[in-house]
Amino acid sequence: MTGRVILVTAVGAASGSRAAAAALACAGSEPDRPGLLIDIGGRPPRPTLVASSGARELEERLTTHLPELRAASRGATCHLAMPAEAEALEQLSAALPLVRDAVAVPVVPPDLWQDLLDVQGVEPSGVLLRADLDSDRALTALVVKELQQRGLPVRVLKKPLAWVPARRALFGVLPADAPGSLPLRSRKSLLESEISAAHTCYAGLDDSQIDPEGAAQQQRRGDEGPGRRRGLHRDPKRQAGR
C-alpha cells in the first residue's frame, strides 16, 4: 500500500469521528509501516504499554522533527496531537512527509474543515464522513457534492463504532477484520491505491435512499452566501462565529 492521507470529520453533531479515524489508522497499518492518527484539537496522547517497533520509530521521528507537538506510539499505530487553530494547520504539511509510505489519518473539527482543505502541501486521497443521516441528510449531501467536485473518494459512516471496538481502535489494537471494525467497503475504498474519483459514493446507501443533488438544492434554499465556505454544522450561530 502506498502512503495515503485520509481526512475524517463529523457532519453536524455526529459523534465518533475520532474512533473512526483511529480504526482507519489501524486498518492501514503494517508491521513496518504504522498508521498515524493526527488528532487536531485532541488531548496530548499517552503511549501504551505495548507498541510495535515501527510505531515507536515513527514516534521518535515525529518527536525529533516536531518537538512542539506531542506524539505517542499506541499499539500498531502512532498518535499525534495538534492545536485546533487555523494557523497551526500549517504544521500538518510538515508532519505528513514523516509518515513516508504509510497511511496518515487527520481527524478534523468541523469548524476547521474548509481551512484544512485549503492548506498547501496537504493532498488528501480520500475522506470519511461520520454523519447521522436521519438529522443531517441534506447537509451530508452538500459536503459529498463538494468533495466529488474536488475529485476525492468519500465514504459516509452512518453509525459510530461500538464502545469496545472504539476503545481498541484508540489503543491501536483493532485489526481491520475485527468484529465491529469499519465496514469492509469503506476500508477498501479509502485504503486501496486503485481507488479513483469514479468510485465516490455513500457507504451502505442506495441511490433510491438519498439524492445528493436534490438534497443540496433543498438545503441551499435556506442558506445564505456561497456554499463553499459553509461549515459542517447545522447551527447558524456557530457558522456566523467562524
Task: Please write the tens of the pLDDT for every residue from 118-133.
Answer: 888 899 999 999 999 9
Residue 221 neighbours by CB under 8 Å, 6+ apart: none
What percent of the chain is modeled with pLDDT above 90?
69
Instruction: Tell me what pLDDT residue 3 has.
Output: 74
Give the whole-angstrom CA distance, residue 116 versus residue 100.
20
Rounded to 5°, angle at Cα 228 from 226 and 230: 80
Confidence at 86, pLDDT banded by 50, 70, 90? confident
d(CA 133, CA 180): 20
Residue 116 has pLDDT above 60, yes or no: yes
Region 209-226: mean pLDDT is 43
Q: Looking at the predicted structure, is the pLDDT value of residue 196 above 60?
A: no
Predicted confidence at residue 120, as pLDDT, reads 84
Mean pLDDT computed over every residue of the chain: 84
Model pTM?
Answer: 0.82
User: Residue 237: its pLDDT value, please?
Assistant: 45
As a whole number of angstroms, the distance between CA 221 and CA 156 comes to 24
| 87 vs 166: which has the higher pLDDT | 166
Which pLDDT score is estimated for 235? 52
Least confident of 12-21, 64-73, 209-218: 209-218
Decide: helix, strand or coil at residue 133: helix
What pLDDT, on the 0 to 100 scale, is given for residue 192? 85
